[in-house]
Structure 1
Amino acid sequence: MSEPIKPVQRIQQNLLAVNERRLLTWLAARMPPSVTPDRLTSIGFLGGVIVGTGYALSTFDINWLWVAIAGYFINWFGDSLDGSLARFRKIERPSFGYFIDHSTDALGNMVMLVGLGLSPFLRLDVALFGLSAYLLLSIHTFLAARVIGEFRLSYMAGGPTELRIMLIAMTLAMFILGPDPVFGTALSAFDWFIGSIAAILVILFVVQTTITSRELLRRGE
C-alpha cells in the first residue's frame, strides 16, 4: 500500500506576489471561454522558445534581443495565468495540472538557458550551470511538497516573476555592455551575473535541504 500524500500548502512570499495575484485574477475574469489553462500552458512554453530563439539569433544581429524580451512577457502570461484561470473557473486538475505545468516549465527553462548560452553574451557552460542550479532548487521544491506538504514558490522574497524581471534587465544591459570580457578574465559581465545567481541557488538548495532534513528528523519521519 502506498503512503498517503500530504495536503500541499502553497507558500508565495515574493515581493510582487500581492499585486501580481490581483492582476492575474483581473485577467482570469476577462479571458474568453476559448482560452483554457492548457492553452495558456502552451503559450507559456512558446514564450520560452521565443526567448531562447531570440538569444541564439542575437549572434547574427543584436536586435534579436528584443524578441527575447518579448518572449519573457509571453512566457509570464501563459505560465502565470494557467493555474490562476483554472482556480478562477474551478476546473482544477491538481495532479494533471501539476505534472504538465512543471514538466513544461522545465523544458522551457532548458530552451531559454541553452539559447542564452548560444548567444555571444554568455558562455554555454555558464548557462548550463545556471540551468542546473535552477533545476536543483526546483527538485528540492518538488520533494518538499511531497514530504512536508509545502510547495514553496519563492525564496529570499523572489520568485519566477522577479527572476524574469532581472533577466529582462540583464538583456537590456546587453545592448550597452556588449559581450566583452571584464575584470581581466575570459568571462563577460553576464557570465559573472548568471554564475553568481546560480551559486546563490545552489547555496539555497543546500540550506533548504538542511532545514527540511532537520524538520523531518524532529518529526521522526
Structure 2
Amino acid sequence: MLKRPEPVECEPLTRIQHNLLARSERRLLNHLCANAPAWVTPDKLTTLGVIGAVVTFLGYVLSNFSPAWLMLAIVGYAVQWFGDSMDGSLARFRKIERPRFGYFIDHSCDGLTTLLILAGIGFSPYVRLDVALIALGGYLLLSIHAYLAARVLGELKLSYLNAGPTELRFALIAMTIAMMALGEHPGLFGPVSGFDLLVGGVGIALMSLFVIQTLVTARRLAALEPTPPPRT
C-alpha cells in the first residue's frame, strides 16, 4: 500500500511590489474582497482570469474580419485583471490561503494567459507572429527569474521599473485602442509596422532586464555564499 506523502513546509515569500498603481489597486481590491459574496472563491476567480485571456485571444484573432472585434479583446483584459488580481487577494482577505497550491496554480495560469494574449496579438493583422513571440520570450524569461528568485532568496518580485502586470495591461489596452484608430499601417520599414516595433521593442527590453536582474541576483547570492577555500 502506497504511503501518503508527508506535507512539505512552505516558507513564506516576501512580496515586492513597487508599481505605480499598486496602492490604488490595493485599495480597490480590498473593497472588492470585503464585498464579495460567499459563493465567489479564489479557484473560481483563477478560472475567470483564464477565461478572460481566452476572450482577449479571440478578440485579436477575430479582428482579421473586423477591427470592431478588438473591443472584445479589451473586455477580455478587464475580465482577466479581475480574476487574476482577485484570486490571491480574496484568499488572503479570508485567511484561506493554500501557499503551495496557490503559488503553483496561479503562476501556471499566468504562463498560459500570457501565451494566449501574445499569440492572439500575433494572429491579429496588426503585429507579426514572430514579433509577438519575441515579446512572449522576454516576458517568460523575466517570469522565470522571478520564480527562481523566490526559491533562492525568498522574494517574489511582482514589478520591475515601477511597472507590473496592471500597468502592462493598460499599455496593451492603449495599443489595442490605437489599432482600432489607426488600422493596419506598414510604416516606413516595409512589412514591419509601428505596432511590430512597439511589441518587439518591449520584448527586447524584457530580455535585457532579465539579463540585468540575473547578474544582480547572482551577485547577491555570491555574497551570501562565497566560494569556499580549496581543500588541502
Task: Please give the TM-score of this superposition, normalised by the length of structure 2.
Answer: 0.92
Deviations 1:174-209 (A, max 9, x none): 012212211233211111111111111011100000
Distance 1:95 1:4 in 2: 9
Aligned pairs, number: 219
Aligned to 2:88: 83
Distance 2:132 2:221 in 1: 34
Distance 1:150 1:101 in 2: 16
Could you tell me how far 1:220 is from its partner in structure 2?
Answer: 1.0
Percent identity at matched positions? 56
Unmatched segments (≥5 aa) in structure 1:
none
Could you tell me how far 1:127 is from its partner in structure 2?
Answer: 0.7
Q: 1:5, 1:146 within 8 Å by CA — same for their partners in 2? A: no
Distance 2:67 2:30 in 1: 36
> For 1:34, what is the secondary structure of its paired residue?
coil
Q: 2:115 aligned with 1:115, yes or no?
A: no
Quick one: which amino acid aligns to residue 73 of structure 1?
Answer: A
Q: 1:126, 1:191 within 8 Å by CA — same for their partners in 2? A: yes
Aligned to 1:73: 78
Aligned to 2:166: 161
- Of 111, 121, 125, which residue of structure 2 is paired with 1:106? 111
Structural RMSD (CA): 1.4
Instruction: Could you list the structure 1 runs, at least 4 aligned residues long, displaced by more than 4 angstroms after superposition.
Output: 3-6
Could you tell me how far 1:105 is from its partner in structure 2?
Answer: 1.2
Quick one: which amino acid aligns to residue 155 of structure 2?
Answer: E
Could you tell me how far 1:126 is from its partner in structure 2?
Answer: 0.6
Unmatched segments (≥5 aa) in structure 2:
1-7, 227-232
Aligned to 1:214: 219
Deviations 1:97-118 (A, max 9, x none): 0100110111111111111111
Q: 2:10, 2:100 within 8 Å by CA — same for their partners in 1? A: no
Distance 1:213 1:178 in 2: 44
In structure 2, the CA distance between the partners of 1:7 and 1:88, relative to structure 1 (3 Å rule), is closer
Deviations 1:71-130 (A, max 9, x none): 000000000000000000000000000100110111111111111111000000011111
Aligned to 1:48: 53
Distance 2:87 2:173 in 1: 22
Could you tell me how far 1:6 is from its partner in structure 2?
Answer: 5.2
Could you tell me how far 1:167 is from its partner in structure 2?
Answer: 0.2
Could you tell me how far 1:4 is from its partner in structure 2?
Answer: 8.2
> For 2:151, what is the secondary structure of its paired residue?
helix
Task: Please give the TM-score of this superposition, normalised by the length of structure 1.
Answer: 0.96
Quick one: which amino acid aligns to residue 117 of structure 1?
Answer: G
Q: 1:121, 1:190 within 8 Å by CA — same for their partners in 2? A: yes
Distance 2:9 2:63 in 1: 49
Aligned to 2:192: 187
> For 1:198, what is the secondary structure of its paired residue?
helix
Q: 1:6, 1:146 within 8 Å by CA — same for their partners in 2? A: no
- Of 198, 204, 209, which residue of structure 2 is paired with 1:204? 209
Could you tell me how far 1:5 is from its partner in structure 2?
Answer: 6.5
Whose Rg is larger? 2
